[in-house]
Structure 1
Amino acid sequence: MTDTAGSGVDDDNGWTERLAWAYGLIAPDSAERASALARLVRAREEAESARLRVNETWLPSPRLRVTARDRAAAQKAYSEAASRCMPEALWSAPASGEINTWAGLPFAMLFLEWEARYPQEWTQHAKAWGTKESLIRQLAIANHDGQVRTKLVDLVDLAVQRPYRCKDREYVRVARAVDGGELRGRLHRAYRSENPWAQLHAGYVLWLLDHPEVPNTRHVWRTWLSDTHTP
């Protein structure tokens, strides 16, 4: 078994040095995305090989003696390899306990934006529903700076524009955390658009924003669907 990978105690420069290439995953240019995807595949293969070596140190053969130093070295190699790919690099909790001061925050949002803009590529190369859910829940706080808040509004807008994907329901938490004129304006535009998914999802989110006491459960969703609501 392995410990959680990542670089929760690292600084901004460390994360950028290891993962700046990952911005290519959300590039509009398909060739740039293809290059970033190829690099991600290589990085994940290296991390997987390192993880298997860690496991081997805990299940040695009769001909292989393993010391505590060997295990520590294997774990260090895995942590280093995992810190250079996604989603593995995001599997460490923020050292401070607050995601808005975590050096990995830009790459957490990048990971979610990648899933929102290029869902098929994300699913093929880095599908991690649990990671998506965990990051969205951690991001659903009100004390983000303006730039992060704007990015979160973008993510909610992207989510309501498309057919539902696993864990998209968690974006309601973010919508409630960053509720305001910008978000509501985007949601109303989506509701008035000709996109049936946007009409449905935006209408539901707007209704929940107007009823903060209502939990966002499957039962509430089904009940809302059975009625007629006009935001």
Structure 2
Amino acid sequence: MGYGREREADMDDAQAWDERLSWAYGLISKDPAERAVALDHLASAREATAEAVAHFNSTLMALQEQGVEDPYDVPALRVAWEERLRIGSRSLPDGVWHRLDYEDIVEWPGLPYALLFLEWEARFPDEWTLAAKEWGTKEGLIRDLAVDSVGRNAVARAKLIDLVEIVVRRAYRCKDREYVRIARVVDGPPLRVRLEAARRSENPWARLHAGYVLWLLDRPEVPNSRRVWRTWLADAQQ
């Protein structure tokens, strides 16, 4: 569906992103009261997004039932789609779904909010799960961020090193395994010092996860597959 490209481009500069989603920084606040306000805002945004999606779907269905050959050329559907984009862009996870045509994600104005979405899941997993669980978005963002240019960006690199440490120190959650991609991109002394500390800690999850990630970092040619994990785990527990 290409007719929303111009509208999307108008919405894709740093100021526009901040106007839409700056409230979301409250989701990662250490202050429970600030998080509560942000969670209330998110609930309203998600409700509005669901209504916009339902309106678009009902408009499309009505046109199809009328036998319209190309409903996507109908102005009413164009308007419904643009509203769905506009309203969804003010919510999460919908707001971080559209990256347009940026070849380098570091140039994408939405990068801070992609990092925010992942940080929210890492630091407050229960709230994330209740309010905006979307494993596919988590996986997709991690894979998008696991590129060399992100590893060379000081701000993004520091944030991602924090996230890798948080993830290896907790019980496994869905798609956490994808963070090995990030670890390989931000590999270096700052990350390894933290991983070594986790590997030597009293936390059994941290010892296992950090040990596995360090083992993989020393073997960049080895895939991070379930089979490799099981084999490594069996050897580590002997």
Letter in 1 for 2:115: M
C-alpha distance after superposition, 1:121-169 (max 9, x if no partner): 1011100000000000010112221111110101101110100000000
Equivalent residues, number: 227
Which of 102, 105, 114 is 1:108 aligned to?
114
Write the distance in 2 (CA, Å) between the matches of 1:153 and 1:29. Answer: 23
Which of 34, 37, 40 is 1:35 aligned to?
37
**More contact order relative to length (CA 8 Å, sep ≥ 6):** 1
Matches within 5 A, 1:50-65: 50-60=52-62
Write the distance in 2 (CA, Å) between the matches of 1:96 and 1:80. Answer: 20
Write the distance in 1 (CA, Å) between the matches of 2:21 and 2:80. Answer: 22
Say if 2:228 is the partner of 1:228.
Answer: no
Which of 168, 185, 189 is 2:193 aligned to?
185
Aligned to 1:211: 219
| 1:194, distance to aligned residue in structure 2 (A) | 1.1
Contact 1:7/1:89 (<8 A) preserved: no
Change (3 A) 1:7 1:173: farther
Write the distance in 2 (CA, Å) between the matches of 1:189 and 1:7. Answer: 44
Aligned to 2:209: 201
Letter in 2 for 1:205: V
Contact 1:4/1:91 (<8 A) preserved: no
Which segments of structure 1 move beyond 4 Å, counting only runs of 4 or more? Answer: 3-9
Q: TM-score, normalised by structure 2?
A: 0.90
| 1:92, distance to aligned residue in structure 2 (A) | 1.0
Question: Which stretch of structure 1 is more off in the superposition, 81-90 or 92-101?
Answer: 92-101
Q: TM-score, normalised by structure 1?
A: 0.92
Change (3 A) 1:169 1:128: same
Write the distance in 1 (CA, Å) between the matches of 2:148 and 2:187. Answer: 9
Say if 2:154 is the partner of 1:146.
Answer: yes
* Structure 1, unpaired ranges of 5+: none
| 1:211, distance to aligned residue in structure 2 (A) | 0.7
C-alpha distance after superposition, 1:152-200 (max 9, x if no partner): 1011011101000000000000000110010001100111111111111
Write the distance in 1 (CA, Å) between the matches of 2:103 and 2:50. Answer: 27
Write the distance in 1 (CA, Å) between the matches of 2:117 and 2:123. Answer: 10
Write the distance in 2 (CA, Å) between the matches of 1:114 and 1:93. Answer: 20
Letter in 1 for 2:180: V
Which of 133, 142, 166 is 1:136 aligned to?
142
**For 2:155, what is the secondary structure of its paired residue?**
helix
| 1:4, distance to aligned residue in structure 2 (A) | 9.7
Which of 75, 79, 92 is 2:98 aligned to?
92
Alpha-carbon RMSD across the aligned residues, in angstroms, is 2.3
**For 2:236, what is the secondary structure of its paired residue?**
coil
Contact 1:7/1:83 (<8 A) preserved: no
| 1:94, distance to aligned residue in structure 2 (A) | 4.3
Letter in 1 for 2:183: A
Change (3 A) 1:72 1:54: same
Write the distance in 2 (CA, Å) between the matches of 1:4 and 1:228. Answer: 52
Letter in 2 for 1:139: L
Which of 7, 15, 18 is 2:17 aligned to?
15
